[in-house]
A and B are shown apart, each in its own frame.
Chain A
Amino acid sequence: MATSFARPKAQELFESQKLALAYFAVAIVLFGAQLIFGLIAAYQYINPDFLLDKLPFMTNRTLHVNAMIVWLLVGLMGGVYWFLPLETGREVVGIKLAKFIWWVIVAGVGVVVLVYLFVQIGPGNALTLWFINEGREYIEAPRWADLAIVAWVAIFLYNVIATTLAARRITGLLGVLIFDLVALGALYTAGMHYTVNVTMDQYLWWWVVHLWVEATWEVLVGVLMGWSLMYLLGTPRKLIETWLFLEVALVFGTGILGLGHHYFWIGTPEYWIGLGGFFSALEPLPLVAMVVHALYDAGAHRLHTVNRPALFWAIAQAFGNFIGAGVWGFMQTLPQINMYSHGTQLAAAHGHLAFFGAYVGTVMTLIYIAVQNARRPVMIPLDSRYWGWALALMVLGIVGIAGSFTISGFSQTMIERAELGSTWSAFIQSYTHPWYTHTLGWRYLFAWIFVAGYLVLVYDLLTIGKRREGHAA
């Protein structure tokens, strides 16, 4: 029975799976917070005076981005807590410790959010970096919160390794997971240094930002999607593991030196231009492999599945990851283009599409699988009238947002960089140009469409599987 997972007696959930449900609930709440601050930031593009004194763009943007990183990480970790007992056939070792650190983290996130909102900035000294804000995009969390995150990941890693050892059985999926989590935890510590040399600062900063998002998170997603496809379609383990190894070979084989595409212009030596351009041009390869893999599996089963929303989110994930991370990334990764497009709205277009495709899709797949199994009796196949609307509205919303960013990004690249010479005045000329300004309303409109999708999603997650309805598939 290579494909079946362990079940606790009397169809009870493992404690670890109950913890996963708490992870997913917090993830969805933070997702909502991300959208609120994103909406305010999008409106500030249209009306720059809006809340300028109370909640300036920088604070909204910090909260928008940080909420996203935390909720996606929480969602991915929740997925591990969900599948780990199924994979090892036993309760997770150290589950009490895992619950304890989880509530510490939830409280810590609350404190950090309040400080971001109401303190915002501090004097230029080390105390500010320890207690208010580290001021380094994506990893602004003050140093005390960094230490809490390290403790959290360490306990998480202990849960995974100790459970695997206790089960006396290591699978390929668990092997890759442990390998990946060790790297993920170690890389975070690279972002916890202060150095005055801004070039070295950014060099190591990218070890967290790039090597998380474009390497270790992608592999973590590979593991979680592997488990999901085994659950959703009954794909044989051997097939899943072979694909996973191939993806790891390609993700780490291209992504580690693909890091060089962040070292084109930060003061680092010129060889990074060639290396970064070459390896990052290859970075879409594993994403193509993931699309082929997911579509092959889904097609081979003629979309027959135990959980329709999860399967469709998984397919959306494969396409979204390829288009958002692969195509939109490739669009601007070659140094000959990147010299002009770097640091423009085009980067934001890529960011929005890639995070949605690669990570939101994965977490939604995981959450729908968990929701299905958390309710009694378990509805098979899981289906509802609403999940398709949520998926469609969110995909339409994000494509519209990313499309608007792409057009303003092209305009900015052309006007500010190529034509006018990258100065303050050139920047003002670009963002007041009609080609740029007319995208802002579209962006805001599509943001509301995305929010509508989120609201439908929340309603659906609260109700799906509770009544037997419309499950014709």
Chain B
Amino acid sequence: MDYSWIEIAVAAIFFSVVVTLILSRGYGWLSPTFWRNAAVVSSLVMTFILLWLTFDTADQVRPGSGRIPDWTVINHEIKLVWDAEKRRQVPAVGRETGFFGKTWSQKEAFDLINKGKMTLQSRNCMECHQILGNGAYYATDLTRAWLDPWWEERIMPLTGAKTREEAMMAWLKDPTSMPQGPRKMPNLRFTDEELKALIAFLKWMSAIDTNGFPPRFAVAQ
């Protein structure tokens, strides 16, 4: 993208106003014709810009293109690091660690994350949690759930699991009996296969560059 947001905003308003004025020559600004032209022109100009930006955005959010990680990121350690220039956290991909004790190929990783996304939707996670900040507000935001220190501090000792992914699996199988705080998560009857996929999805999502959201993740503790 070669244009800044200010240039786009100014161009959008400029075109809307100028085209409206040209089409409305001879009509006063209080006439219905003037405002009818303004309505049609501004709608079309803004729709055109939205479509144009959609192509640019779609290109920038392809997995592996920079902002969105490649599927195989699940084989690696993921961290949030402080970007001093942008003054916010950005995800960083570290050394290879494997996931559930193996290294996943591109195709295997895609299939797993895809299954995880289906599982996420089938259990209606968004109606308590938030995904990238969107959802209901009854439970935690899952954007950086994979990176949450709580798994190592509390859930690994509680479940006796050796790795973070195993701890997540053990807890999600029966969250009602291991409540964390007064609000309990219902038992959503996940299979092992679904949980492995869901955790892969969460790990992949935790490496998306979200412009620093949620803020100061795990910094203050």
A7-42, CB < 8 A from B: none
Interface code B5-20, partner A: CB below 8 Å = 1, 0 otherwise?
Answer: 1101100100010000
On whether the beta carbons of A253 and B31 are closer than 8 Å, the reply is no
User: Looking at the complex, which of A49-57, A305-313, A315-323 is the stretch in contact with chain B?
Assistant: A49-57
Q: Which residues of chain A have C-beta atoms less than 8 A from B216's C-beta?
A: 417-418, 421-422
Tell me the bound Cα distance from A412 to B133 in angstroms: 14
Q: Which residues of chain B have C-beta atoms less than 8 A from A164's C-beta?
A: none
Q: Which residues of chain B have C-beta atoms less than 8 A from A422's C-beta?
A: 141, 144, 214-218
Tell me the bound Cα distance from A203 to B51 in angstroms: 12
Q: Does A178 belong to the interface (CB within 8 Å)? A: no
Closest CB of chain A to B194's CB: distance in Å?
Answer: 5
Q: Which residues of chain A have C-beta atoms less than 8 A from B198's C-beta?
A: 124
Tell me the bound Cα distance from A176 to B36 in angstroms: 9
Q: Does A386 belong to the interface (CB within 8 Å)? A: no
User: Looking at the complex, which of A336-344, A369-377, A444-452 is the stretch in contact with chain B?
Assistant: A336-344
Q: Does B114 belong to the interface (CB within 8 Å)? A: yes
Q: Does A327 belong to the interface (CB within 8 Å)? A: no
Tell me the bound Cα distance from A179 to B36 in angstroms: 12
Q: Which residues of chain B have C-beta atoms less than 8 A from A252's C-beta?
A: 39, 42-43, 46-47
Tell me the bound Cα distance from A129 to B117 in angstroms: 11
Shortest Cβ distance from B131 into A: residue: A198
Given contacts A135-B121, A246-B38, A274-B9, contact A267 B150 (CB under 8 A): no
Contact partner, B135, options A137, A203, A426, Cβ 8 Å: A137
On whether the beta carbons of A135 and B124 are closer than 8 Å, the reply is yes
Number of interface residues of A (CB under 8 A): 92
Interface code A122-150, partner B: CB below 8 Å = 1, 0 otherwise?
Answer: 11111011001111110010000000000
On whether the beta carbons of A253 and B117 are closer than 8 Å, the reply is no
Tell me the bound Cα distance from A409 to B46 in angstroms: 32
Q: Does A98 belong to the interface (CB within 8 Å)? A: no
Shortest Cβ distance from A180 into B: residue: B43
Closest CB of chain A to B124's CB: distance in Å?
Answer: 5
Tell me the bound Cα distance from A298 to B210 in angstroms: 47
Closest CB of chain B to A373's CB: distance in Å?
Answer: 28
Closest CB of chain A to B28's CB: distance in Å?
Answer: 11
Given contacts A256-B43, A264-B213, A269-B67, contact A343 B137 (CB under 8 A): yes
Closest CB of chain A to B211's CB: distance in Å?
Answer: 6
Shortest Cβ distance from B118 into A: residue: A124
Chain B interface residues toward A at CB < 8 A? 1, 3-6, 8-9, 12, 16, 30-32, 35-36, 38-40, 42-43, 46-47, 49-50, 53-54, 56-58, 60-63, 67-68, 110, 113-128, 130-141, 143-145, 148-150, 153, 176, 180-184, 186, 188-189, 191, 194, 197-198, 201, 205, 208-221
Chain A interface residues toward B at CB < 8 A? 44-45, 48-49, 52-53, 56-59, 61-62, 120-126, 128-129, 132-137, 140, 172, 175-176, 179, 194, 196-203, 238, 241-242, 245-246, 248-249, 252-253, 256-257, 259, 262-275, 278-279, 339-340, 342-345, 347-348, 412, 417-428, 431-432
Apart from the given pairs A61-B136, A242-B31, 14 other A-B contacts in the complex at a CB distance below 8 Å: A48-B184, A123-B122, A124-B122, A197-B68, A198-B205, A252-B43, A265-B132, A269-B57, A271-B8, A417-B215, A417-B216, A422-B144, A423-B217, A425-B153
List of 5 A-B pairs having minimum Cβ-Cβ separation, nearest first: A135-B121, A274-B5, A124-B119, A265-B213, A245-B35
Q: List 27 A-B contacts (CB under 8 A).
A: A48-B184, A61-B136, A120-B124, A121-B124, A123-B122, A124-B197, A129-B121, A135-B125, A136-B126, A172-B36, A175-B36, A197-B61, A197-B63, A198-B117, A246-B38, A252-B42, A256-B46, A268-B57, A269-B60, A275-B5, A275-B8, A342-B133, A421-B221, A422-B217, A423-B150, A425-B149, A428-B180
